[in-house]
């Protein structure tokens, strides 16, 4: 059996679903914090995009705070998440255009499904994952 590329706890998995549902019909967004191949925390952020029903932009202050905390020994910025209300859990054309190729993970939530993608210089690559009991 192939080893999962990333892991997260049931609480973090449920948080992704809850945040997406709570933001509906707008896109939810936030940060994934962790280290190695493990997502340890899902941190919601304000979607500051002018058209939040179809786009997302993580509040820049949330990003600054997360990177500052990581530099001071806190959990690293593992990646980002957002939802696709009424869409599929895969990168949209807009997601692909806005991606930075920084190697971080994107979680995309659609309904009760979550998919994880690595934002590489060659585009998005789907990742395998496991949800565990922690």
In the residue annotation, 27 being an active-site residue is answered as yes
Mention every residue, 6+ apart, whose C-beta is less than 8 A from residue 107. 16, 32, 39, 79, 80, 81, 82, 114, 115, 116, 117
Q: Which of 5, 12, 19, 27 is catalytic?
A: 27
The sign one gets for the Cα dihedral 14, 18, 19, 24 is: positive
User: Would you name the residues annotated as active-site residues?
Assistant: 27
């Amino acid at each position: 059996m192939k080893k999962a590329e990333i892991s997260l706890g049931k609480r973090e998995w449920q948080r992704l679903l809850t945040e997406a549902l709570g933001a509906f019909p707008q896109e939810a967004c936030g940060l994934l914090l962790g280290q190695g191949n493990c997502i340890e925390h899902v941190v919601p952020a304000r979607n500051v995009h002018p058209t939040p029903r179809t786009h997302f932009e993580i509040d820049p202050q949330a990003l600054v705070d997360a990177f500052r905390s990581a530099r001071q020994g806190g959990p690293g910025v593992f990646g980002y998440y957002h939802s696709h209300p009424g869409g599929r859990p895969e990168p949209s054309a807009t997601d692909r255009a806005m991606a930075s190729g920084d190697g971080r993970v994107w979680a995309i939530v659609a309904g009760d499904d979550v998919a994880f993608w690595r934002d590489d210089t060659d585009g998005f690559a789907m990742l395998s994952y496991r949800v565990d009991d922690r």
